[in-house]
Homo-oligomer: A and B are copies of this chain.
Amino acid sequence: VTSSRPRATLATIAATAGVSVATASKVLNGRSDVSPTTRARVQGVLKEHDYIGRAPKSDGKATVELILAGMSTYAMEVIQGVLDEAGGADVDIVVRSHPMAGRPIRSGRPTPWIRELSASGRRAVIGVNIRLSGADLAALARAKLALVLIDPIDIPQLDVTSVGSTNFAGGLAAARHLLSLGHRRIAYLGGPATASCSQARTQGFRGAMEAAGLPILDGYVQLRDFFYEDGLVGGAALLDLPEPPTAVFAGCDQLALGVIEAARARGLRVPEDLSVVGFDDTELARLASPPLTTVRQPLREMGAVALRTALRLASGEKVDSHHVELATTLVVRASAVAATRLSAVAAL
Protein backbone atom coordinates (compact mmCIF):
# COMPACT_ATOMS: atom_id res chain seq x y z
CA VAL A 1 0.00 0.00 0.00
CA THR A 2 2.75 2.42 -1.01
CA SER A 3 1.09 5.74 -1.63
CA SER A 4 2.83 7.07 -4.70
CA ARG A 5 5.78 5.41 -6.42
CA PRO A 6 6.41 6.22 -10.08
CA ARG A 7 4.72 4.12 -12.71
CA ALA A 8 6.51 0.78 -13.01
CA THR A 9 8.47 0.20 -16.22
CA LEU A 10 9.18 -3.10 -17.92
CA ALA A 11 12.86 -2.69 -17.12
CA THR A 12 12.24 -2.57 -13.37
CA ILE A 13 9.86 -5.49 -13.63
CA ALA A 14 12.52 -7.48 -15.47
CA ALA A 15 15.20 -6.54 -12.95
CA THR A 16 12.99 -7.49 -10.00
CA ALA A 17 12.13 -10.80 -11.61
CA GLY A 18 15.75 -11.39 -12.54
CA VAL A 19 15.14 -11.74 -16.26
CA SER A 20 15.91 -9.67 -19.34
CA VAL A 21 13.54 -7.01 -20.58
CA ALA A 22 13.02 -9.16 -23.64
CA THR A 23 11.71 -12.02 -21.58
CA ALA A 24 9.53 -9.78 -19.49
CA SER A 25 8.10 -8.38 -22.69
CA LYS A 26 7.29 -11.86 -23.93
CA VAL A 27 5.41 -12.72 -20.75
CA LEU A 28 3.52 -9.45 -20.95
CA ASN A 29 2.42 -10.26 -24.46
CA GLY A 30 1.56 -13.88 -23.79
CA ARG A 31 4.17 -15.33 -26.13
CA SER A 32 4.57 -19.08 -25.84
CA ASP A 33 8.34 -19.36 -25.77
CA VAL A 34 8.76 -18.79 -22.03
CA SER A 35 9.16 -21.51 -19.40
CA PRO A 36 6.21 -21.86 -17.05
CA THR A 37 8.32 -21.03 -13.99
CA THR A 38 9.75 -17.87 -15.49
CA ARG A 39 6.33 -16.85 -16.70
CA ALA A 40 4.81 -17.34 -13.27
CA ARG A 41 7.56 -15.35 -11.61
CA VAL A 42 7.31 -12.46 -14.03
CA GLN A 43 3.53 -12.41 -13.82
CA GLY A 44 3.81 -12.25 -10.07
CA VAL A 45 6.04 -9.20 -10.24
CA LEU A 46 3.84 -7.63 -12.90
CA LYS A 47 0.79 -7.94 -10.70
CA GLU A 48 2.60 -6.89 -7.57
CA HIS A 49 3.67 -3.66 -9.24
CA ASP A 50 0.25 -3.04 -10.80
CA TYR A 51 2.02 -2.81 -14.13
CA ILE A 52 -0.09 -0.82 -16.56
CA GLY A 53 2.29 -0.09 -19.39
CA ARG A 54 3.48 3.10 -20.96
CA ALA A 55 1.50 6.20 -20.00
CA PRO A 56 -1.32 6.66 -22.48
CA LYS A 57 -1.01 9.56 -24.93
CA SER A 58 -2.12 12.46 -22.83
CA ASP A 59 -4.01 14.20 -25.61
CA GLY A 60 -6.49 11.32 -25.74
CA LYS A 61 -9.89 12.24 -24.37
CA ALA A 62 -10.31 11.92 -20.64
CA THR A 63 -12.71 9.22 -19.62
CA VAL A 64 -14.76 9.00 -16.46
CA GLU A 65 -16.55 5.96 -15.20
CA LEU A 66 -20.22 6.06 -14.30
CA ILE A 67 -21.31 3.30 -11.95
CA LEU A 68 -24.98 2.54 -11.50
CA ALA A 69 -26.59 0.42 -8.81
CA GLY A 70 -28.93 -0.71 -11.57
CA MET A 71 -30.79 0.47 -14.64
CA SER A 72 -33.99 2.44 -14.18
CA THR A 73 -35.75 5.53 -15.46
CA TYR A 74 -34.04 7.31 -12.58
CA ALA A 75 -30.62 6.16 -13.75
CA MET A 76 -31.61 7.04 -17.30
CA GLU A 77 -32.14 10.71 -16.43
CA VAL A 78 -28.85 10.87 -14.57
CA ILE A 79 -27.01 9.26 -17.49
CA GLN A 80 -28.57 11.77 -19.84
CA GLY A 81 -27.34 14.64 -17.67
CA VAL A 82 -23.84 13.24 -17.43
CA LEU A 83 -23.71 12.57 -21.16
CA ASP A 84 -24.89 16.07 -22.06
CA GLU A 85 -22.24 17.60 -19.84
CA ALA A 86 -19.61 15.20 -21.15
CA GLY A 87 -20.28 16.28 -24.72
CA GLY A 88 -19.40 19.85 -23.86
CA ALA A 89 -16.43 18.91 -21.70
CA ASP A 90 -15.14 16.51 -24.33
CA VAL A 91 -14.81 13.49 -22.06
CA ASP A 92 -15.86 9.90 -22.67
CA ILE A 93 -18.21 8.19 -20.26
CA VAL A 94 -17.96 4.49 -19.64
CA VAL A 95 -21.03 3.14 -17.98
CA ARG A 96 -21.27 0.06 -15.86
CA SER A 97 -24.04 -1.36 -13.81
CA HIS A 98 -23.48 -3.17 -10.53
CA PRO A 99 -26.77 -4.41 -9.16
CA MET A 100 -24.97 -5.37 -5.97
CA ALA A 101 -23.51 -1.96 -5.38
CA GLY A 102 -26.44 -0.71 -3.35
CA ARG A 103 -26.43 -3.65 -0.94
CA PRO A 104 -25.07 -3.65 2.59
CA ILE A 105 -21.32 -3.96 2.87
CA ARG A 106 -19.73 -7.00 4.42
CA SER A 107 -16.02 -7.38 3.98
CA GLY A 108 -13.10 -5.14 4.73
CA ARG A 109 -11.55 -5.68 1.30
CA PRO A 110 -12.31 -3.39 -1.59
CA THR A 111 -15.05 -4.54 -3.96
CA PRO A 112 -13.58 -6.30 -7.00
CA TRP A 113 -14.56 -3.61 -9.48
CA ILE A 114 -12.64 -0.99 -7.54
CA ARG A 115 -9.43 -2.94 -8.16
CA GLU A 116 -10.11 -3.12 -11.87
CA LEU A 117 -10.83 0.56 -11.92
CA SER A 118 -7.47 1.61 -10.57
CA ALA A 119 -5.69 -0.03 -13.50
CA SER A 120 -7.86 1.49 -16.18
CA GLY A 121 -6.56 5.02 -16.30
CA ARG A 122 -9.85 6.80 -15.61
CA ARG A 123 -9.91 10.44 -14.74
CA ALA A 124 -12.67 10.11 -12.16
CA VAL A 125 -15.62 8.01 -11.12
CA ILE A 126 -19.24 8.88 -10.45
CA GLY A 127 -21.44 6.51 -8.47
CA VAL A 128 -25.23 6.58 -8.57
CA ASN A 129 -27.19 5.23 -5.59
CA ILE A 130 -24.17 3.33 -4.50
CA ARG A 131 -22.63 2.55 -1.15
CA LEU A 132 -18.90 2.31 -0.61
CA SER A 133 -16.99 0.73 2.23
CA GLY A 134 -13.99 2.31 3.86
CA ALA A 135 -11.80 -0.17 2.01
CA ASP A 136 -13.34 0.93 -1.31
CA LEU A 137 -12.72 4.57 -0.49
CA ALA A 138 -9.12 3.81 0.47
CA ALA A 139 -8.53 1.89 -2.77
CA LEU A 140 -9.92 4.76 -4.78
CA ALA A 141 -7.73 7.25 -2.94
CA ARG A 142 -4.67 5.09 -3.47
CA ALA A 143 -5.41 5.02 -7.21
CA LYS A 144 -5.78 8.82 -7.09
CA LEU A 145 -9.26 8.57 -8.56
CA ALA A 146 -11.63 11.45 -7.89
CA LEU A 147 -15.04 10.25 -6.72
CA VAL A 148 -18.46 11.87 -6.67
CA LEU A 149 -21.57 10.13 -5.41
CA ILE A 150 -25.07 10.96 -6.61
CA ASP A 151 -27.83 10.46 -4.05
CA PRO A 152 -25.67 8.24 -1.84
CA ILE A 153 -27.42 5.59 0.21
CA ASP A 154 -25.59 6.56 3.35
CA ILE A 155 -25.74 9.96 4.92
CA PRO A 156 -23.21 12.28 3.22
CA GLN A 157 -19.80 11.72 4.78
CA LEU A 158 -17.13 14.33 5.21
CA ASP A 159 -14.59 12.48 3.10
CA VAL A 160 -16.75 11.85 0.04
CA THR A 161 -18.08 14.43 -2.32
CA SER A 162 -21.73 13.93 -3.15
CA VAL A 163 -24.66 15.60 -4.84
CA GLY A 164 -28.28 15.13 -3.89
CA SER A 165 -31.47 17.12 -3.78
CA THR A 166 -33.57 18.71 -1.08
CA ASN A 167 -35.49 15.62 -0.08
CA PHE A 168 -36.86 17.01 3.14
CA ALA A 169 -38.23 20.11 1.45
CA GLY A 170 -39.66 17.87 -1.27
CA GLY A 171 -41.51 15.70 1.22
CA LEU A 172 -42.83 18.78 2.91
CA ALA A 173 -44.01 20.27 -0.39
CA ALA A 174 -45.81 17.09 -1.41
CA ALA A 175 -47.70 16.81 1.87
CA ARG A 176 -48.55 20.51 1.89
CA HIS A 177 -49.92 20.28 -1.62
CA LEU A 178 -52.26 17.49 -0.57
CA LEU A 179 -53.21 19.43 2.56
CA SER A 180 -53.95 22.56 0.54
CA LEU A 181 -56.21 20.45 -1.65
CA GLY A 182 -58.31 19.79 1.43
CA HIS A 183 -57.12 16.26 2.14
CA ARG A 184 -56.93 15.19 5.78
CA ARG A 185 -56.55 11.45 5.58
CA ILE A 186 -53.15 11.40 3.90
CA ALA A 187 -50.97 8.32 3.93
CA TYR A 188 -47.30 7.95 3.15
CA LEU A 189 -45.77 5.07 1.27
CA GLY A 190 -42.00 5.34 1.44
CA GLY A 191 -38.78 3.62 0.51
CA PRO A 192 -36.46 1.80 2.91
CA ALA A 193 -35.69 3.53 6.18
CA THR A 194 -32.02 2.72 5.57
CA ALA A 195 -31.64 5.11 2.63
CA SER A 196 -30.90 8.65 3.74
CA CYS A 197 -32.92 10.27 0.95
CA SER A 198 -35.89 8.19 2.03
CA GLN A 199 -35.59 9.25 5.65
CA ALA A 200 -35.57 12.90 4.68
CA ARG A 201 -38.74 12.52 2.61
CA THR A 202 -40.49 10.74 5.44
CA GLN A 203 -39.57 13.48 7.89
CA GLY A 204 -40.74 16.12 5.42
CA PHE A 205 -44.11 14.40 5.33
CA ARG A 206 -44.33 14.11 9.10
CA GLY A 207 -43.27 17.72 9.48
CA ALA A 208 -46.04 18.99 7.24
CA MET A 209 -48.68 16.93 8.99
CA GLU A 210 -47.51 18.08 12.36
CA ALA A 211 -47.44 21.72 11.30
CA ALA A 212 -51.03 21.32 10.11
CA GLY A 213 -51.91 19.88 13.49
CA LEU A 214 -53.09 16.63 11.94
CA PRO A 215 -52.48 13.19 13.37
CA ILE A 216 -50.99 10.45 11.23
CA LEU A 217 -53.50 7.64 11.45
CA ASP A 218 -52.63 4.09 12.39
CA GLY A 219 -51.11 2.18 9.48
CA TYR A 220 -50.83 5.37 7.43
CA VAL A 221 -47.05 5.18 7.11
CA GLN A 222 -45.74 2.24 5.11
CA LEU A 223 -42.03 1.78 4.56
CA ARG A 224 -40.93 -0.71 1.93
CA ASP A 225 -38.53 -0.63 -0.99
CA PHE A 226 -38.63 1.73 -3.99
CA PHE A 227 -40.08 -0.71 -6.53
CA TYR A 228 -43.38 -0.88 -8.36
CA GLU A 229 -44.29 -4.11 -6.60
CA ASP A 230 -43.86 -2.37 -3.27
CA GLY A 231 -46.30 0.27 -4.47
CA LEU A 232 -48.73 -2.44 -5.43
CA VAL A 233 -48.71 -4.19 -2.06
CA GLY A 234 -48.25 -1.02 -0.02
CA GLY A 235 -51.10 0.64 -1.91
CA ALA A 236 -53.28 -2.41 -1.34
CA ALA A 237 -52.53 -2.36 2.38
CA LEU A 238 -53.47 1.31 2.58
CA LEU A 239 -56.67 0.99 0.56
CA ASP A 240 -57.82 -2.03 2.50
CA LEU A 241 -57.57 -0.18 5.80
CA PRO A 242 -60.91 0.16 7.64
CA GLU A 243 -60.56 3.88 7.17
CA PRO A 244 -58.62 4.26 3.91
CA PRO A 245 -56.79 7.47 2.98
CA THR A 246 -58.14 9.93 0.43
CA ALA A 247 -54.63 10.73 -0.68
CA VAL A 248 -51.29 8.94 -0.80
CA PHE A 249 -47.86 10.50 -1.02
CA ALA A 250 -45.48 7.95 -2.50
CA GLY A 251 -41.72 8.13 -1.99
CA CYS A 252 -40.93 7.69 -5.67
CA ASP A 253 -42.73 7.54 -9.01
CA GLN A 254 -42.60 3.75 -9.27
CA LEU A 255 -44.28 3.45 -5.89
CA ALA A 256 -46.91 5.95 -7.01
CA LEU A 257 -47.65 3.91 -10.13
CA GLY A 258 -48.05 0.84 -7.99
CA VAL A 259 -50.58 2.67 -5.82
CA ILE A 260 -52.49 3.83 -8.89
CA GLU A 261 -52.69 0.28 -10.16
CA ALA A 262 -53.73 -1.03 -6.74
CA ALA A 263 -56.54 1.54 -6.80
CA ARG A 264 -57.59 0.59 -10.31
CA ALA A 265 -57.67 -3.07 -9.34
CA ARG A 266 -60.21 -2.09 -6.63
CA GLY A 267 -62.37 -0.14 -9.04
CA LEU A 268 -61.14 3.16 -7.64
CA ARG A 269 -60.29 5.97 -10.02
CA VAL A 270 -57.35 8.32 -9.67
CA PRO A 271 -57.76 11.21 -9.07
CA GLU A 272 -61.55 11.10 -8.58
CA ASP A 273 -61.51 8.60 -5.72
CA LEU A 274 -57.90 8.84 -4.62
CA SER A 275 -55.21 11.47 -5.03
CA VAL A 276 -51.62 10.35 -5.51
CA VAL A 277 -48.39 12.31 -5.46
CA GLY A 278 -45.05 10.80 -6.45
CA PHE A 279 -41.40 11.74 -6.14
CA ASP A 280 -38.57 12.04 -8.73
CA ASP A 281 -40.37 13.17 -11.87
CA THR A 282 -38.84 10.60 -14.15
CA GLU A 283 -40.32 9.88 -17.61
CA LEU A 284 -42.79 7.63 -15.83
CA ALA A 285 -44.56 10.59 -14.24
CA ARG A 286 -45.12 12.41 -17.51
CA LEU A 287 -46.32 9.29 -19.32
CA ALA A 288 -48.62 7.93 -16.60
CA SER A 289 -52.37 8.04 -16.97
CA PRO A 290 -53.36 10.22 -15.27
CA PRO A 291 -50.13 12.19 -15.59
CA LEU A 292 -48.54 12.14 -12.18
CA THR A 293 -48.28 15.09 -9.84
CA THR A 294 -44.84 14.62 -8.37
CA VAL A 295 -41.87 16.22 -6.67
CA ARG A 296 -39.20 16.84 -9.25
CA GLN A 297 -35.60 15.97 -8.51
CA PRO A 298 -33.45 17.68 -11.15
CA LEU A 299 -31.76 14.39 -12.05
CA ARG A 300 -30.18 15.64 -15.26
CA GLU A 301 -28.72 18.63 -13.53
CA MET A 302 -27.51 16.40 -10.72
CA GLY A 303 -25.68 14.30 -13.30
CA ALA A 304 -24.17 17.36 -14.90
CA VAL A 305 -23.08 18.83 -11.57
CA ALA A 306 -21.57 15.50 -10.54
CA LEU A 307 -19.47 15.37 -13.70
CA ARG A 308 -18.32 18.96 -13.40
CA THR A 309 -17.37 18.39 -9.78
CA ALA A 310 -15.58 15.13 -10.54
CA LEU A 311 -13.54 16.80 -13.29
CA ARG A 312 -12.65 19.68 -11.02
CA LEU A 313 -11.60 17.29 -8.27
CA ALA A 314 -9.53 15.28 -10.75
CA SER A 315 -7.58 18.32 -11.84
CA GLY A 316 -6.65 18.98 -8.24
CA GLU A 317 -9.05 21.82 -7.51
CA LYS A 318 -10.64 21.97 -4.09
CA VAL A 319 -14.38 21.95 -4.03
CA ASP A 320 -16.36 24.37 -1.84
CA SER A 321 -18.62 21.86 -0.22
CA HIS A 322 -18.36 18.11 0.08
CA HIS A 323 -22.11 17.83 -0.41
CA VAL A 324 -24.45 19.95 -2.49
CA GLU A 325 -28.21 19.64 -2.74
CA LEU A 326 -30.15 20.89 -5.73
CA ALA A 327 -33.67 22.16 -5.22
CA THR A 328 -36.69 19.93 -5.65
CA THR A 329 -39.88 21.43 -7.09
CA LEU A 330 -43.47 20.30 -7.06
CA VAL A 331 -44.78 19.50 -10.53
CA VAL A 332 -48.55 19.62 -10.58
CA ARG A 333 -50.16 17.32 -13.11
CA ALA A 334 -53.41 15.40 -12.88
CA SER A 335 -53.14 12.68 -10.24
CA ALA A 336 -54.06 14.80 -7.23
CA VAL A 337 -57.16 16.97 -6.97
CA ALA A 338 -59.24 18.64 -4.31
CA ALA A 339 -60.73 16.28 -1.76
CA THR A 340 -64.38 15.64 -2.49
CA ARG A 341 -66.78 17.11 0.03
CA LEU A 342 -67.56 13.59 1.08
CA SER A 343 -64.07 12.51 1.98
CA ALA A 344 -63.24 15.83 3.57
CA VAL A 345 -66.28 15.51 5.80
CA ALA A 346 -65.60 11.89 6.53
CA ALA A 347 -62.24 12.86 7.92
CA LEU A 348 -63.67 15.12 10.60
Contact = CB atoms under 8 A, between A and B. Distances in A.
Interface string A49-74: 00001101101110100000001110
Nearest to A231: B287
| A61, A257, A287: most-surrounded residue (chain B CB, <10 A) | A287
Given A71-B80, A283-B73, A120 B96 contact: no
B94 A96 contact: no
| A54, A94, A261, A264: most-surrounded residue (chain B CB, <10 A) | A94
A254 B94 contact: no
A288 interface: yes
A97 interface: yes
Nearest to A98: B87
Contacts of A289: 257, 260-261, 264, 270, 288-289
Contacts of A80: 71, 97
A66 to B, nearest CB: 8
A107 interface: no
Contacts of A71: 76-77, 79-80, 83
5 closest A-B pairs by beta carbon, nearest first, are: A261-B289, A53-B57, A71-B80, A260-B289, A92-B94
Interface of A: 28-29, 53-54, 56-57, 59-61, 63, 71-73, 75-77, 79-80, 83-84, 86-87, 92-97, 120-121, 228, 254, 257, 260-261, 264, 270, 283-284, 286-291
